[in-house]
Amino acid sequence: MSGDVLVRLTGLSKSFGPTRALDGAELALRGGTVHALLGGNGSGKSTAIKILAGVYPADAGTIHVGTAEWAADGWSAAAARHAGLRFVHQDLGLFDSLSIAENFALDGGYPTTRLGSVRWRQLDRRVAALLDRFEIAATPGTPVGGLRPAQRTMVAIARALQDQESESAVLVLDEPTATLPAHESELLLAAIRRRAELGQTILLVSHRMPEVLATAHDFTVFRDGRTVATLVAAEPTEQRLIALMTGQEIAATAPDPQVCAAQHDGAAALRVTDLAAGPLRGVSLTVAPGEIVGVTGLVGSGRSSLLRTVFGLHPPRAGDIWIDGRRQRGTEDVRARMAQGVAYVAEDRVAESSFAELTVRENLSASVLRMFWRPRGMATADERDSAEALVRRHRVKAGSVESAFSALSGGNQQKAILARWLRREPRLLLLDEPTQGVDIMSRADIYRTIRRSVSTGCGVVVASSDFLELSTLCDRVVVLAGGRIAAELRGERLTPEHLTAATQSSVLSTGVPS
């Protein structure tokens, strides 16, 4: 059946109050293909997927799967499952301390005897067959925590499809490579492409354009809740897709030429010596004022721990931290770090960096409330004007600054949180995966804003798994492995290819994870 349309969404509409998230959108997936769903932040991709998964009812539209047809307002999670639709979200929902077999069993149930005891051998046989079918080089007893990142995602995919004997299920992958470094993404995407060759139908949502172009057969582009293009068996250019997403012919998105570290006098913005915290075991690093230093390494290498410890979220086990020339005693908390001009954007921005139930305006002001205090109370009009200006400057797509923060799309939440911290004019900016989930159009804006801060002497540390981002944005990049700095790249060696090689060889030399 490869090539025939297997799933078709027509006239899909959905409003949230005054916001029209989808306005008659269309999507048609051909069997045995990888289909990319593209669109700027807030264009309606997640809403369409949530409707397809039965999380939200649509206001209008039709869902066809095979020869059957349903009204989209009566569709449900059970109907989606019954129709063979399977979803793997960014949070894979795996338990690291359990084995692959146990993770499968938690989802699909344990085979048991009549007396209720688990038939482990039967479970292992079933899981071994699935690992074989999905080409995952591991045994059922391997702990999930010991797998490479791409293998983890493949385990989540195999688990989602474990009850499907044939390849007839449709797999929906929501930004599966967002946290993977380049070589892991390549492994995963090659495996996804092989699934399609075997007849699997795959819907892929991703903001990483080169990967999408290398993997997808068909493309659907959303803009403002509508389908503006469907390209079947096509090989579009990145520029063409961006033009479709924005509705404008835009010059190539070639990154700005790399800026060299600006010369700023004064103490280092950050100095850490022999830092031990979380997985870190003796890291020393100096960031000059006006310098952007990248930090990379595989998941678990300690990238996030470094940033969190410097921000005062947890005290180090050992080692020293100096900020702007001042030695930290180790007892300071986040408030003290903020008072010294440190800003931190967490990887899990929703949980750690935002107030979901407050408005966009309140979230934007959260870091600078004092700016709006007047002797007679809050200057709310000033606060609103200032929030509106920030939303415009950072292209945050929000119904209004009075909308709930939780109503923003993922990428727009990220842009708003960055805007909030940058308005404090920090002296040291700590960014964990700053453009994860951000559309390609806003990425260049974010880089420009970071560079503007740097030109005033701010020091920046960027933890990222996106090697193109690191080589575009940073003056130098350190690679963490085994809790230490295993390599440092700068100048001509600071390219995605060298970063891939350095990450790979550091993993090999420290033996984590194989």
Ligand X SMILES: Nc1ncnc2c1ncn2[C@@H]1O[C@H](COP(=O)(O)OP(=O)(O)OP(=O)(O)O)[C@@H](O)[C@H]1O
> By CB under 6 A, what part of segment 14-33 binds ligand X?
16, 19, 21
- 410 lies in the binding site for ligand X (CB under 6 A): yes
Dihedral of alpha carbons 314, 315, 317, 320, sign: positive
Residue range at the interface with ligand X (CB under 6 A); choices 192-200, 234-242, 306-314, 407-415: 407-415
Contact present, 107 and 159 (Cβ < 8 Å): yes
- Smallest separation (angstroms) from ligand X to the CB of 49: 8
- 42 lies in the binding site for ligand X (CB under 6 A): yes
- 246 lies in the binding site for ligand X (CB under 6 A): no
- 236 lies in the binding site for ligand X (CB under 6 A): no
Residue range at the interface with ligand X (CB under 6 A); choices 100-108, 255-263, 402-410, 440-448: 402-410
Which token pair is 276? 């031990």
Q: Looking at this protein, which amino acid is placed at residue 360?
A: V
Instruction: Give the binding-site size for ligand X (rule: CB under 6 A).
Output: 20
Residue range at the interface with ligand X (CB under 6 A); choices 108-116, 286-294, 298-306, 403-411: 403-411
Residue range at the interface with ligand X (CB under 6 A); choices 244-252, 343-351, 408-416, 486-494: 408-416
Alpha-carbon distance of 184 to 394, in angstroms, equals 31
3-state secondary structure of 22: strand
Alpha-carbon distance of 85 to 89, in angstroms, equals 13
- 304 lies in the binding site for ligand X (CB under 6 A): no
- Smallest separation (angstroms) from ligand X to the CB of 44: 4
Contact present, 118 and 111 (Cβ < 8 Å): yes
- Smallest separation (angstroms) from ligand X to the CB of 455: 28
**Pick 437 or 457: Cβ nearer ligand X:** 437
- 39 lies in the binding site for ligand X (CB under 6 A): yes
**Pick 134 or 447: Cβ nearer ligand X:** 447
Cross-sheet strand order for the sheet of 60-65: 19-30, 5-16, 60-65, 68-71
Nearest to 203 by CA among 30, 63, 80, 72: 30
Q: Does residue 106 come out as left (phi exceeding 0), alpha (psi in the -120 to 50 range) or beta? A: alpha
User: Per-residue x/- marks for ligand X, 430-449, CB under 6 A?
Assistant: -------x-x----------
Alpha-carbon distance of 72 to 172, in angstroms, equals 18
- Smallest separation (angstroms) from ligand X to the CB of 339: 32
Alpha-carbon distance of 190 to 193, in angstroms, equals 5
Alpha-carbon distance of 437 to 419, in angstroms, equals 16
**Nearest residue (beta carbon) to ligand X:** 411
Interface positions with ligand X (CB under 6 A): 16, 19, 21, 39, 41-47, 397, 407-412, 437, 439
